[in-house]
Structure 1
């Protein structure tokens, strides 16, 4: 892992963070998951996922609203597939 990609001192589970980054997840998402699983246990965190509908089924307007909530840059000019990809990798 490059030196500029090392987790900061606020990351509670360095190994999980590094594994998530190798999978291609963003720094923010990796830190969020690593910290939640360190605090609550991986089983608890994993059991929470999968309840929202697939982004593929959302309208472009709804995708843009969600992208705005997450402050995704360039969202107004993105296609549906670009929005879905940006949201999944945020």
Structure 2
């Protein structure tokens, strides 16, 4: 069943099959539909690695994303949870 908030359903489904979260897949597919695939592709990949972040910063990011169950996690597990939310 098509979702009216997703502007490029095929790209969304492909991204989900690759293992991307629903939020990330929707964000990428909608940006590509609005601005073109090549524009979105050039823009990506400029964020720093979570490995360089402090545990405090990682927990703050998890809170911003509305995640739960992260307060007791080690840095490595917290990074995995953020990458795969």
Superposed structure 1 runs of 4+ greater than 2 Å apart: none
Aligned residues: 85
Paired residues of 1:7 and 1:31 also in contact (CA < 8 A) = no
Q: Which residue is equivalent to 1:27? A: 22
CA RMSD of aligned residues (A): 1.4
Q: Please, what TM-score do these two structures have when normalized by structure 1?
A: 0.83
Match of 2:36 in 1: 41
Distance 2:42 2:31 in 1: 12
Residue in 2 that maps onto 1:74: 69
Report the Cα distance in structure 2 between the residues aligned to 1:45 and 1:7, rounded to whole angstroms. Answer: 23
The verdict on how the C-alpha distance between 1:17 and 1:52 changes in structure 2, with shifts beyond 3 A counting, is same
Unaligned runs of 5+ in 2: none
Indicate whether 1:11 and 2:2 are aligned.
Answer: no
Residues 1:53 and 2:27 aligned together: no
Q: Is the 8 A contact 1:7 1:17 kept in 2?
A: no
TM-score (norm 2): 0.88
